[in-house]
C-alpha cells in the first residue's frame, strides 16, 4: 500500500501539500492540486482517516441540528448540506431536536464533548445564553447574540413580493397570517416586508398573529374568521406553505374558495411536484443555495477566518401556483 | 473535575458498573443504575466520550446510508432511526447515495475507515459483491447475500390487501403497475401478493412493468394506455404512492377520472396531512416500527449476537383515501 510520502514524491511536492490537498484546508494552487490528485489516483492511495484525524486532532464530522428531518424544508436542506460536506470529505451527524430547547442544549453538550469540527444549527428557541461552545457554528434563519453567522433567505423582500403579487392577482384587502415567537427570528421579516410594501403603496391591510406555537389551527382560523374586520379579506400571505394550506382547508369549510374568493400565497416552496393540489403560489426559499452557502461559510470559520458579515441573505423568487 | 472513580466510590460500585451504566451496554439492576445516575449528577461528572470511545475502541456512530433524505419515506425513517439511536447515546451519520452504486461503495469504504459502530443501509443496487465490511449492517427493504439481516414491511400481504381493496371498491379488472429491477428486492413481493390473491380469487388481472429506473413517466403511461388490453382496466395498484399520483395525473389527461373510472391504491403512506389532494388510498408502511426495529437489531448484532431470522417483516395496514 502506498503512503503519503509516495504520493508526495510522485507529485514532486512535500507531504504537507498532499495533506492540505486531502483536507482541502488551505489555499493550494489549482495546478498543484491537480498534480497531487493525479498521483493519489495513480497510486490508489487511501488516507487512513481515523489515524489522520487523530494525529491532526481534527474531526471531519459536522453536525446538523434541526427541529425535525421529517419535514420537507429541512430534509431538502439536509440533502444539500450533506452533498456539499461530502465534496470536502466531511461527514454529517444528524440531530433532531424536536424544536425543544432542552434537547437542543443536550445536543450542543454532546457535540462539544465529541469535538465535532463544526455545527450548522436551526433553532427557533431562546437558547443562546446557554450555548457555550468553541466549535464554529453557522445558523440558518436565526440570529444568536454571540456573533454566530446566519444564512437565511431574503425574508423581507419575500414579504414585499408577496404583497405585490396578491395585488396583481386582484386582492384589494390583503392580510398577513402568522404567529408571534418570543425570540427574534429572521422569518419575522416576512411580515415587515409585507407591511412596509402595503404602506408604501397606501394599501389597506391586516396583520393577524397569535402566540407561537399555534397548536390548534382550527381555533386560530376560527378566531380569524370571526372578527368582522377580516370578513372582506380577499388576499392572504401565510407565514409558511403549510400554514397557507391549513388556511385554505379551513376557509373551504366556511364557504370561502381559493382563489375565487381569496388569493393565497405561502412561503417555502416545499412542493416539489405538481401531482397534489392545490399547488400553492409561494415565495420559494433558495434551499440549495442556503445549504451550500452555510457549509462554505462554516469551512471558512473552521479555518479561523473572521467573516465580514453577520447575516447572509439569499434572494427569493415568487412561484405562481393555483392559489392566486 | 470528578473522575469515573469518584462516581464509583460515591455509588458504592465498581468502575466497570459505572461504565456500563454510561454506555447502556449491559444489564444493570435498576436500583444500581439509579444510584450511579445520582452519583453522576451529584458530582457533575462528564464522561469524555472521545477518550472513552478511543479507550474502548468503540465508536458511538451509526451510519444511515440511503438514496436521498429528500424523500418523505426516507426522511420519516431517518427521523425515527435517529430518535431510537439517541436513546442509547448513539449518533447518526447521514449518507445520501443518490441511489448510485459507486457512491454507495464509496460510503461503505469511508465508513469502514472511520470505524463506525454499525450501518443501516437502504440500497436497491447490486453492490453486495463489492461490500466487504466487518461492521454490523442492517438492511431495510433489501436482501444482501452475505447474511445481512433485513427489516421490511410485509410487502407480500400488502399486495394481497391492495387487490382485495380494489375489488371491494368495485374494480373488475385490476392492474399492477411497477418496474423491473435487476436485483431481488423485498418490494417485488408487492406484485407477487397482488398476483397470488387475484389468482386465488379467480380474478382477471394485468401486470404491467417496464425496466427500472422509469425516467420518463409520461412515456411509461402512454405505453400502458395504448395497449388495447389495458383499456378496460378499472383498478390500479401502483408500486409506490408517487407512482400512483403520477398515474392519476396522466390518466386525467386521457379523460380517465379517479376514482370514478378507475380506483387507485399506492404503497408507502407518505402523505402525513389531509391538506393536499388527491389523498391517496394506500398500503401504509409501518415506518416507525421499521426504524426502531432496525436499530434494535443492529444493537444486538453489535453486541455479537447471532440473529435468529434473516428477514423481519412488519405488518402493514390499508389506509383509505380519496382514490378508491
CATH code, B4-56: 1.10.260.40
Closest chain B residue to A85 measured between Cα atoms?
B95
Homologous superfamily of A155-285: Response regulator (3.40.50.2300)
Q: What integer pLDDT is reported at residue B145 of this predicted model? A: 60
CB burial readout B126-162, b (16+ within 10 A) else e: ebeeebeeebbbbbbbbbbeeebbbbbbbbbbbbbbb
Q: What integer pLDDT is reported at residue A141 of this predicted model? A: 85
Mean pLDDT by 10 residues, chain A (324 residues): 78 79 72 87 68 56 94 95 92 92 86 87 79 85 75 97 98 96 86 98 97 90 94 96 96 96 97 94 97 96 88 96 98
- Per the document, the length of chain A is 324
Asked if A162 contacts A169 with a C-beta cutoff of 8 angstroms, the reply is: no
Q: What is the ipTM of this complex?
A: 0.81
Q: What integer pLDDT is reported at residue B50 of this predicted model? A: 40
Mean pLDDT of B22-27: 66
Best-predicted range by mean pLDDT (A14-18, B159-163, B268-272): B159-163
Q: What integer pLDDT is reported at residue A22 of this predicted model? A: 76
**Whether B126 contacts chain A with CB within 8 A:** no
Residue B162: closest CA among B133, B183, B193, B137: B193
Closest chain B residue to A115 measured between Cα atoms?
B50
Query: Does the bond joining A168 to the residue before it have cis omega, within 30 degrees of 0?
Result: no
CB burial readout B51-69, b (16+ within 10 A) else e: ebbeeeeebbbbbbbbbbb
Instruction: Tell me the average pLDDT of chain B.
Output: 89
**Whether A96 contacts chain B with CB within 8 A:** yes
Q: Which three cell numbers stand for residue A322?
A: 393555483
Compare B183 and B312 and report the one with higher pLDDT: B312
**Whether B70 contacts chain A with CB within 8 A:** yes
Asked if A295 contacts A120 with a C-beta cutoff of 8 angstroms, the reply is: yes
Q: Where are the domains of chain A?
A: 4-53, 61-153+287-315, 155-285
**pLDDT-derived band at B185, boundaries 50, 70, 90:** confident
Q: What integer pLDDT is reported at residue A262 of this predicted model? A: 98
Instruction: Report CB contact under 8 Å: A93, B95.
Output: no
**Whether B57 contacts chain A with CB within 8 A:** no
Q: What integer pLDDT is reported at residue A82 of this predicted model? A: 96
Question: What is the per-residue pLDDT across B124-153, written as a single tens digit (0 to 9) for each?
Answer: 777 777 776 788 999 998 766 667 899 999
CA distance B92 to B58: 15
* pLDDT of B54 over the 50 cut: no
- In chain A, positions 230-289, which contact chain B (CB-CB < 8 Å)? 242, 245-246, 248-249, 271, 273-278
Closest chain A residue to B53 measured between Cα atoms?
A114
Homologous superfamily of A4-53: lambda repressor-like DNA-binding domains (1.10.260.40)
Mean pLDDT of B185-189: 90
Q: What integer pLDDT is reported at residue B144 of this predicted model? A: 63
CATH code, B61-153+287-315: 3.40.50.2300
Q: What integer pLDDT is reported at residue A55 of this predicted model? A: 44
CA distance A76 to A39: 36
Q: How large is the C-alpha radius of gyration of chain B?
A: 24
**Whether B94 contacts chain A with CB within 8 A:** yes
In this complex, which of B68, B82, B274 lies closest to A94 when CB atoms are compared?
B82
**B-chain residues within 8 Å CB-CB of A276?**
245, 271, 276-278
CA distance A299 to B44: 33
**Whether A41 contacts chain B with CB within 8 A:** no
Quote the minimal CA–CA distance from A48 to chain B in Å: 6
Please report, rounded to a whole number, the percentage of residues in chain B having pLDDT higher than 90.
61
**A-chain residues within 8 Å CB-CB of B74?**
75
Residue B216: closest CA among B179, B181, B267: B179
Compare B165 and A187 and report the one with higher pLDDT: B165
Mutate to test the interface with B, among A44, A70, A103 (most CBs of B within 10 A): A70
In this complex, which of A75, A95, A110 lies closest to B69 when CB atoms are compared?
A75
Q: CA angle B132-B138-B139, nearest 5°? A: 90
Q: Please tell me the pTM assigned to this model.
A: 0.82
**B-chain residues within 8 Å CB-CB of A94?**
64, 78, 82, 92-94
**Whether A87 contacts chain B with CB within 8 A:** no
The answer to whether domain B4-56 and domain B155-285 are alike in fold is: no
**pLDDT-derived band at B59, boundaries 50, 70, 90:** confident
**What is the DSSP track for B168-206?**
HTT-SSEEEEEEE-SS--GGGHHHHHHHHHHHHHT---E
Mean pLDDT of B206-227: 93
For chain A, helix (H) and strand (E) counts, in that order, are 11, 12
Question: What is the per-residue pLDDT across B290-315, written as a single tens digit (0 to 9) for each?
Answer: 999 999 999 999 988 888 888 999 99
Closest chain A residue to B74 measured between Cα atoms?
A70
Amino acid at each position: 500500500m502506498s503512503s503519503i510520502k509516495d504520493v508526495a514524491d510522485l507529485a514532486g511536492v512535500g507531504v504537507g501539500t498532499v495533506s492540505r490537498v486531502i483536507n482541502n484546508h488551505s489555499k493550494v494552487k489549482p495546478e498543484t492540486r491537480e498534480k497531487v490528485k493525479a498521483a493519489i489516483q495513480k497510486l490508489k492511495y487511501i488516507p487512513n482517516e481515523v489515524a489522520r484525524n487523530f494525529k491532526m486532532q481534527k474531526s471531519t464530522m459536522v453536525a446538523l441540528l434541526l427541529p425535525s428531518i421529517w419535514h420537507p424544508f429541512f430534509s431538502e436542506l439536509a440533502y444539500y448540506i450533506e452533498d456539499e460536506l461530502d465534496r470536502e470529505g466531511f461527514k454529517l451527524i444528524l440531530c433532531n431536536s424536536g424544536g425543544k430547547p432542552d434537547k437542543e442544549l443536550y445536543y450542543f453538550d454532546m457535540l462539544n464533548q465529541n469535538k465535532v469540527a463544526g455545527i450548522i444549527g436551526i433553532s427557533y428557541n431562546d437558547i443562546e445564553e446557554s450555548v457555550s461552545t468553541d466549535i464554529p457554528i453557522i445558523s440558518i434563519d436565526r440570529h444568536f447574540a454571540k456573533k454566530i453567522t446566519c444564512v437565511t433567505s431574503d425574508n423581507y423582500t419575500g414579504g414585499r413580493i408577496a404583497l405585490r403579487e396578491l395585488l396583481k392577482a386582484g386582492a384589494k384587502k390583503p392580510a398577513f397570517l402568522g404567529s408571534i415567537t418570543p425570540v427574534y427570528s429572521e422569518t419575522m421579516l416576512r411580515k415587515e416586508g409585507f407591511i412596509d410594501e402595503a404602506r408604501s403603496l397606501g394599501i389597506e391591510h391586516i396583520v393577524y398573529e397569535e402566540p407561537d406555537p399555534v397548536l390548534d389551527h382550527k381555533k386560530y382560523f376560527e378566531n380569524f374568521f370571526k372578527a368582522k374586520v377580516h370578513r372582506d379579506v380577499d388576499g392572504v400571505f401565510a407565514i409558511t406553505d403549510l400554514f397557507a394550506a391549513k388556511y385554505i382547508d379551513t376557509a373551504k369549510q366556511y364557504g370561502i374558495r381559493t382563489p375565487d374568493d381569496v388569493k393565497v400565497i405561502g412561503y417555502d416552496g416545499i412542493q416539489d411536484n405538481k401531482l397534489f393540489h392545490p399547488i400553492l403560489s409561494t415565495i420559494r426559499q433558495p434551499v440549495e443555495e442556503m445549504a451550500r452557502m452555510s457549509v462554505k461559510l462554516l469551512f471558512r470559520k473552521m479555518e479561523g477566518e473572521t467573516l465580514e458579515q453577520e447575516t447572509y441573505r439569499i434572494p427569493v423568487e415568487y412561484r405562481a401556483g393555483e392559489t392566486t
